Amino acid sequence: MVTDDAVLCMRVESQKPAKSGGWIHPLNETAAASWDRVPVQKKQERTDQELDAIWRPRAERWREQGRGEVGRLAVILGVNVAALGELGAGWEGRSWTFPERNAAGLILGVSRRFEDGTKRCAVGSRRGLTYSDGWIERDGPVLIVEGASDTAAGITLGLAVIGRPSNVGGLKLLVKLFVSVKRTVIVLGERDRKPHESLPAILRRDHDPRCRGCPKCWPGCFGARKLAACLNRALSGKVLVRMLPDEVKDLRAWLNARQIDVGNPEACWMAGKDLLCQI
């Protein structure tokens, strides 16, 4: 999000974290100086229960009215339509919707995906996790991916998968979700590395061309490593970081590259087992 005075970025950190997530970057010295002088009036946050009372009826209504549109989204994404159904995907008239939840299953808000692939969080939402009710019943390690479409790809493959809202998002919710889960957790990083020369001038200025992965040039790798480190400290457990094989960007890209019939559960299950062996 960009204004005349600042940028709100979900990937690049600054000295001014935003309470709703991400970091604020002032675009001029005047704005930065004025922000330091002006006291911030904190708005009282809604509880998780209050948010659930607001967003659950909407999410369920959009799910009911979007059954046909969700089928179309499954074709676009190359995932099983049942996987989208498990996530509660819907259609609100202009965009597809995905409920985001806390560790107890309460709906904190809704993420939206538009026809052109643009993603937005519905106004008034709080970011949460994307997962199905039956995720813990699936065997094997638990994969933590980024976003709803990768979560749907993991469900299509028969994997236990949890979607986080951004490359470094969802830490506190994940800690609560896994506190009593005694299983290996794997954070999957995305291959979204950008060459040094392609970075905007403001980011390239202080960036080392030899960098091996930072929030500026490789947010997917940086976020996966940071999230795994924080989870390991909080859970005192075994949390791993892995990049997907075959040089693909993310889990959905890996699934699409296999060109399997996503309507064939056995073929999807075998592909999922093959992926776990490779990572």
Asked if residues 56 and 104 have their Cβ atoms less than 8 Å apart, the reply is no
Q: What is the pTM of this model?
A: 0.84
CA 6 – CA 26 distance, rounded (Å): 4
- Look at residue 36 in the predicted model and tell me its pLDDT: 54
For residue 130, list its beta bridge partners: 163
Q: Same domain for 22 and 105?
A: no
Asked if residues 140 and 252 have their Cβ atoms less than 8 Å apart, the reply is no
- Look at residue 33 in the predicted model and tell me its pLDDT: 60
- Interval 254-269 mean pLDDT: 96
- Structural domain of 58: 48-278
84-109 pLDDT, tens digit per residue, is: 999 999 999 999 999 999 999 999 99
- The answer to whether residue 43 sits within a structural domain is no
- The answer to whether residue 164 sits within a structural domain is yes
Q: Same domain for 13 and 128?
A: no
CA 238 – CA 7 distance, rounded (Å): 36
- The answer to whether residue 26 sits within a structural domain is yes
- Interval 18-39 mean pLDDT: 68
Q: Same domain for 94 and 63?
A: yes
Q: Same domain for 66 and 133?
A: yes
197-235 pLDDT, tens digit per residue, is: 999 888 888 899 889 889 899 999 999 999 999 999 998
Q: What are phi and psi of 240, to 5 degrees?
A: -105, 160
CA 171 – CA 166 distance, rounded (Å): 10
Between the alpha carbon of residue 66 and those of residues 143, 148, 180, the distances in Å are: 28, 16, 35
Q: Same domain for 66 and 14?
A: no
pLDDT band (50, 70, 90) for residue 44: confident
- The answer to whether residue 131 sits within a structural domain is yes
Number of domains composing the chain:
2
Q: Same domain for 127 and 12?
A: no
Q: Same domain for 220 and 105?
A: yes
Q: Same domain for 14 and 85?
A: no
- Look at residue 38 in the predicted model and tell me its pLDDT: 46
Q: Same domain for 146 and 31?
A: no
- The answer to whether residue 260 sits within a structural domain is yes
Between the alpha carbon of residue 133 and those of residues 35, 129, 138, 250, 264, the distances in Å are: 43, 12, 11, 23, 22
Q: Same domain for 187 and 58?
A: yes
- The answer to whether residue 42 sits within a structural domain is no
- The answer to whether residue 89 sits within a structural domain is yes
Q: Same domain for 28 and 105?
A: no
**For residue 28, what are its two tokens?**
């001029």
Ramachandran category for residue 158: left, alpha or beta (phi over 0 → left; psi -120 to 50 → alpha)? left
- The answer to whether residue 213 sits within a structural domain is yes
Q: Same domain for 150 and 13?
A: no
- Look at residue 32 in the predicted model and tell me its pLDDT: 63
